[in-house]
Structure 1
Amino acid sequence: MQSSILNQLAASVPAGAPPAWIQYLPFVAMAAIFWFLIMRPQMKQQKEHRNKLSELKKGDEVLTGGGFVGKVLRVDDNYVEIEIAQGVKVKAVKSTIVDVIPPAGSKPAND
């Protein structure tokens, strides 16, 4: 019985029809576009952020996820001690550091 069903299905396909894998080609193309336009740049940005955090050292000026700007006093594996004002020290989780601010002596990008 199964062979007769397969024969009927095979007979219903026109002789000049394209192969079945062609209909999946648009999905493969969309996945490739999604990968190169969204996923790959995001992974690159995450890698750069991890590198910044691993190179964090005492004396760097940082911006936290909460919007605080301060100077790094001590760096551990998971935590960073930041001085946000004279005599005000805060212990922050290292992954909440958003950016390392370049030194004040560097030239701004728009000048």
Structure 2
Amino acid sequence: MYRLLGLQLRRKSKSTRIKTSLNQPQAPRQVLSADFISDGLITGRKFRVFNLIYDYNREVLCTTPALSIPALRAEEYLKQAIEIYGKPLQIRVDNGPEFISKIFMSYCETEGIEVNYI
């Protein structure tokens, strides 16, 4: 249609997101990273593994598999890790639905943990 009318297609510009490097923490217990990995069983059913890792020394605090991990359960795993290992200053997460939920965000806010999205 555009060719018949002699029009040109509009080009979409790329987003200009400012990229910042991930800084290595200078002391233990400062920055905690949380993420999920997923895989499938031979039956075709998918499962996820929730991981919590301290960035300073790469200490793994939690690696918990489940078929479903909603935000409430991710918050519970974080609470358990904080009880055992202590509270971090920051937590690095992606923009997954579990980490942008009101449940997770309000918990981090009440605990004074800064959420750093990557």
With normalisation by structure 2, the TM-score equals 0.27
- When you count helix as a share of all residues, which structure comes out higher? 1
Q: TM-score, normalised by structure 1?
A: 0.28
Higher alpha-carbon Rg: 1
Q: Larger relative contact order (C-alpha < 8 A, sep ≥ 6)?
A: 2
